[in-house]
Amino acid sequence: MKFLDLAKVYIRSGGGGSGCVSFRREKYVEFGGPDGGDGGTGGSVWAEAVEGLNTLIDFRYQQHFFAKSGQPGMGKQRTGKSGDDIVLRVPVGTEILEEDEVTLIADLTEPGQRVLLAKGGNGGWGNLHFKTATNQAPRRANPGQEGIERTIWLRLKLIADAGLVGLPNAGKSTFLAATSNARPKIADYPFTTLVPNLGVVGVDGKEFVMADIPGLIAGASEGRGLGDLFLGHVERCSVLLHLVDGTSETMMEDYRTILAELAAYSPALAEKPRITALNKIDALDPETLAERRAALEAEAGRVIPMSGASGQGVQDVLRALWARIAEGREVDGDQEDAPWRP
């Protein structure tokens, strides 16, 4: 399945049906009068977050969603049939934006969450509504209300507890494959990962979701490489795992590059809790490992040595990630339970 995390969609709700001008004319009925029915209500356009989807690819092949209009009213006080609603089924974590791609309409982060995007037009009144003591035979009815037409953007941000960041070939896909059932592409050339991958990771009987995004390079915020197209997928994470290639001759420069690109994309993302891991230690001798770990710790603080290929230190990294995730969940729970204050 192809991955798509941004789609432009055109929607229009249905217009209301017109009211009916009709009079009751039946044999042997002494009193006639107006009996025109109301028009039906137009169909509305909704968006709903559903489970089982992780891409917006369906909206590449269909961008227009038009709800049906309500039917006109009829005689004998019969109301026209209402138009059917249209529901856009999107993955959990989808943001809905106005046409300017900035104004947020809704953020669907829970399965079953729904939002009304365009309400259907009301049906017009039939002439029965206009009967008065001085106007016993009104010959007027209201037209139906027009539908709403708008252009929106759908932007998917995958929901994960932890996010992997690092330069291409830092070992992110190898780490995800070693710790979960995810099977991302792994190769010895840069930009092996072209789309985000999710994996469920287990440690000490606990489980959390980890996201692997394509590697960043210097100038990604300006569009180099794959740019920062996929950084939005780690914005929702509680913690970031920064993997640093311990075999790189420019290790410190690599470390600073990632921090600079995170800050250029979003200061809030750069300030997220971050675990730094020195990867590929199986390819280093003890003396080189000690030197490079000390150099990295001088700037990054605590550094966990590990190897995704051999499994060394992987459990330590997972436990550190879970500690941060659990801490974040406790804070969120306290905020939910706290009394509201004006």
The answer to whether 281 is a known ligand-binding residue is: yes
44 annotated ligand-binding residue: no
Residues ≥6 apart with Cβ < 8 Å to 262: 165, 231, 269, 270
Query: Is 198 annotated for ligand binding?
Result: no
118 is in an annotated binding site: no
Q: Is 309 annotated as a binding residue?
A: yes
Residue 193 annotated in ligand binding: yes
86 annotated as belonging to a binding site for a ligand: no
CA–CA dist 16, 12 (Å, integer): 13
188 is in an annotated binding site: no
CB atoms within 10 A of CB 322: 20
Contact 141, 69 (CB under 8 A): no
Residue 194 counted as an annotated binding residue: yes
192 is in an annotated binding site: yes
Is 81 flagged in the annotation as binding?
no
187 is in an annotated binding site: no
Q: Which residues contact 245 (CB under 8 A, 6 or more apart)?
A: 166, 167, 169, 170, 171, 251, 254, 279, 280
Tell me whether residue 307 is annotated as binding.
Answer: yes
Q: Which residue is associated with the tokens 């990630």?
A: 321
User: How far from the centroid of its chain's Cα atoms is residue 251's Cα?
Assistant: 34
Q: Is residue 57 annotated as involved in ligand binding?
A: no
Residue 266 annotated as lining a ligand binding site: no
Instruction: Please state whether beta strands 274-279 and 104-108 pair in parallel, antiparallel, or not at all (unpaired).
Output: unpaired
Is 308 assigned a ligand-binding role in the annotation?
yes
Q: Tell me if 211 is assigned to a ligand binding site.
A: no
Asked if residue 141 belongs to a known ligand binding site, the reply is no
- Report the candidate in 314, 17, 11 with the shortest Cα–Cα distance to residue 178: 314
Q: Any known ligand binding at 172?
A: yes
175 is in an annotated binding site: no
Alpha-carbon distance of 247 to 189, in angstroms, equals 15
**Binding-site residues for GTP:** 166-173, 191-195, 212-215, 279-282, 307-309
**Binding-site residues for Mg(2+):** 173, 193
**Binding-site residues:** 166-173, 191-195, 212-215, 279-282, 307-309
